[in-house]
Structure 1
Amino acid sequence: METTKGRGRFIFFCLTPAVILFIIFLIIPTIDVFRMSMYKWGGYTDDKTFVGFQNFTKLFHSDKFYQTFQNSVLLIVIVTIVTFAFSLLFASVLTREKLKGQNLFRIIFYIPNILSIVVISAIFSAIYDPNSGLLNSFTNLFRSATETPTLWLGDQKIVIFSLAGAMIWQAIGYYMVMYMASMANIPDSLYESADLEGASRTTQFFSITIPLIWVNIRTTLTFFIISTINMSFLFVMAMTSGGPDGATEVFLSYMYKEAYTNSSYGYGMAIGVVVFLFSFALAAILNAVTKRDNLEY
C-alpha cells in the first residue's frame, strides 16, 4: 500500500509542472483568443467594444479571406503530396539499394532541415532572382535572348508554386530519415519471399513497405499538414510578404497583418479561431480517412 501511494505521489509531482505549463501557455491563451475574437479592439489601448460574432461575419464576407484560404489549402495539398512522395521514394532507395555513401546521402538530404527558414528563404530568393538567379540562368539556355525573364516571385500565376518548392526542399530530408528508420525494421525475409514469387520492386513497395510503415506515415502526415500551416507563414513573411497582390497571402500572414499592422486585433483573433477550428477538423478528418488495421510481422 505504501509503495503504491509513493508511486502515485512520484507520478503526481512529475506531471504537475508539465500540466501547469500546459495550462498557462496553451489552454489559457487559446481560451483568450476565443474571448478576444468577440471584441472590436485595436490591441494597443484599453478601448474594447464587445461585438459578438461581428468579426466572424466580416471575415466570412471578405474576399481576401477566401483568397488566403485558397492559397493555404493549395500549399497544404501540393507540399504534402510532393514531400511525402519523394520522402518515401528516397527512403526506400537508400534503405533497400546497396549504394555507396548511404550515410553521406542521409546527411545531405537532412541538412535543409537544420537550416533556419530565413536562410532557406534567402537561398531560394537568390535562385528565383529574375536577373542573375540560377533557375533563370538554366531556363535561358532553352529560350531566345529577347524573351523577358520569368518572375518566379513576381508572377501571380506561379509564385505560389515557387513558394511550395522552397517548403518541399526544406521538409523532404526530415521525413525521409524518419521513414528510413521504420523501413530498417522490416524483416528482409519478407522481401526475399516476394522476390521468389516474382514480385517487382514497385509491387513490394506498395504491398510490403507502405502497409508495414503505415502507422508512421499516418502520424507524420497529420503532423506535417498541421505544421505546414505554420511553416507557410514563415516562408511567406521571409520571401514575399504575401505579394504580389495577395497571391501568397496565407492564414497566419493575413491574421498577423490584421492584428498587428492594421490594428484590428479582435478581427485578427477571429481569423485565429477559424484557423484553429480548421486545423482541428482537418486533423480529425485525416485520422478518420487514414485509419487502418495495424499489420504485424
Structure 2
Amino acid sequence: MTAVIAPIEEMGGGKSPAAHRWSRKDLTFDKITFMLVFLVVPVVGYIIFVVSPFVQAFYYSLTDWSGFTPGMNFIGIANYGKLFTDSTFLTAMGNSVLLALVLPVVTIGLALILASLVTVGGPSSGPVRGLRNSSIYRVVSFFPYVIPAIVIGIMWGQIYDPSSGILNGILTGLGLEQFTSFAWLGIEGVAMPAVMFVIVWGLVGFYMVLFVAAIKGVPAEIYEAARIDGAGRFRTAMTITIPLIRDNIQTAYIYMGILALDAFVYMAALEPGGGPANSTLVMSQQLFTTAFTKGQFGYACAMGVVLALITLIFAGVVFLVNRLTGGNNEVAE
C-alpha cells in the first residue's frame, strides 16, 4: 500500500487538484483586487443597505416604538395580531392586491400590442417591418414615462376635477350632459378604475420600448418563415413573439407588480385621503399615515413586513408560473 501511495504523492506533490488550484501562487494582486471590488464590496454594501434595514424593520415590528422616543417595549407578534383585525388595513391590502392583479396584465398586454405594431405589424408583403412612422409612435408613447409620477398625479387630478377639469368639459361638449360636474375620484366604484388608467397611461410607453428592444433581437427570418407559412399577426405574436421574449415579459411583469403593490406616489397625488370609503387606499398609504401621523412606527413596520412578504410571494408566483409553462427550458445545442 505504501509503495502505491508514494509514487502518487511524488507525481502530485502530495496535494489534491483542488488544493493546487487554490494555492497562494494563483492569488495574484489582480485576482485579489477583482474579488474585493466586484464581490466583497457589493456583498457588504448589500448587507448594510438592504438586508440590515429589513432585519431592523422586522425587529421594530415586534415592539411598540412610537418613532419619536428612544424607548420601546418588546411586545412580540401583538402588532401582527392587531394588523389582521384592522379593517382599514385589510381594505388597503385588498386594494393593493387588486392593483397587482389588474395593472400588470393590462399594462404588459397593451405594451406587447403596441410593440408588435411598431416592429412587425407593418405591411404583409416585403421585408418585415413595423407601421409607417413607427419611430414617432415610440417617442409619443414613451413621453409620459419621462414625467415624474407625482407630476402625472397632479396633472390628472386637475383633468379629473369635477368643476374645471378638461375631461368633463370635453364629454359635456360632446353632448354627454351626465358628466357635468362628474366626480371621477369621488365615486366609490369609479375612483379605482380612474386611478388605474392614470398608472397605465404613465407606464405603458416604458414597457413598450422594452419589448421593442426585445423583439428587435428576434431574427427577421423567423417572422418571414411564419409569413410564408400563412401565419397571421395574432398567431405570429402568440407562437413566435411571446415565447421568444418571455424572459423579458417575466421581468417586466414582476417590476410592474411591485410598482402596483406600492403605488404610493400616484395614490398620494390623486387620492391622498384614501378615496371614497377607502376604495383607493393602499398599504403604503396606510403605512405612511400610521407611522408619521399616528406615531405608531412599530405597527407601521409590521405593515411594511407584510407588504414585503406579499411582494416576495407575487414574484415567486410569477417565477413558478413561468417555470411550469416551460419558460426556463434550455435550448439543446
TM-score by length of 1: 0.93
Q: 1:253 to 1:92 in 2, by over 3 A?
A: same
What are the residue-to-residue correspondences of 1:176-187 with 2, within 5 Å?
176-187=208-219
How many residues are aligned here? 295
- Following superposition, the deviation at residue 296 of structure 1 comes to 5.4
Partner of 1:6: 29
How large is the RMSD of aligned CA atoms in angstroms? 1.9
Residue pair 1:215, 1:294 contacting (<8 A) in 2 also: no
What are the residue-to-residue correspondences of 1:5-84 with 2, within 5 Å?
5-15=28-38, 16-84=40-108
Deviations 1:63-122 (A, max 9, x none): 111100111111122211110111000000000124333222211111111111121112
Whole-Å separation in 2 of the counterparts to 1:251 and 1:72: 6
What are the residue-to-residue correspondences of 1:150-229 with 2, within 5 Å?
150-229=182-261
Residue pair 1:75, 1:160 contacting (<8 A) in 2 also: no
Partner of 1:138: 170
Whole-Å separation in 1 of the counterparts to 2:177 and 2:243: 49
Q: Which amino acid aligns with 1:195?
A: R
Residue pair 1:211, 1:295 contacting (<8 A) in 2 also: no
- If asked which structure has higher relative contact order (CA below 8 Å, sep 6+), I would say 1
Residue pair 2:322, 2:328 contacting (<8 A) in 1 also: no
Residue pair 1:212, 1:295 contacting (<8 A) in 2 also: no
TM-score by length of 2: 0.84
Q: 1:274 to 1:179 in 2, by over 3 A?
A: same
- Which protein has the larger Cα radius of gyration, Structure 1 or Structure 2? 2
Tell me, yes or no, if structure 1 residue 236 matches structure 2 residue 260.
no
Q: Which amino acid aligns with 2:37?
A: C
Whole-Å separation in 1 of the counterparts to 2:43 and 2:225: 49
Deviations 1:32-62 (A, max 9, x none): 0000000112110123121111100000011
- Following superposition, the deviation at residue 149 of structure 1 comes to 2.7
Q: Report % sequence identity.
A: 30
Whole-Å separation in 1 of the counterparts to 2:301 and 2:165: 39
User: Among residues 243, 257, 265, which one is paired with 2:289 in the alignment?
Assistant: 257
Structure 1 unaligned regions, length at least 5: none
Structure 2 unaligned regions, length at least 5: 1-22, 123-129
Whole-Å separation in 2 of the counterparts to 1:294 and 1:37: 41
Whole-Å separation in 2 of the counterparts to 1:212 and 1:152: 40
Whole-Å separation in 2 of the counterparts to 1:281 and 1:85: 22
Residue pair 1:240, 1:248 contacting (<8 A) in 2 also: yes
Whole-Å separation in 2 of the counterparts to 1:70 and 1:54: 22
Q: Which amino acid aligns with 2:59?
A: R
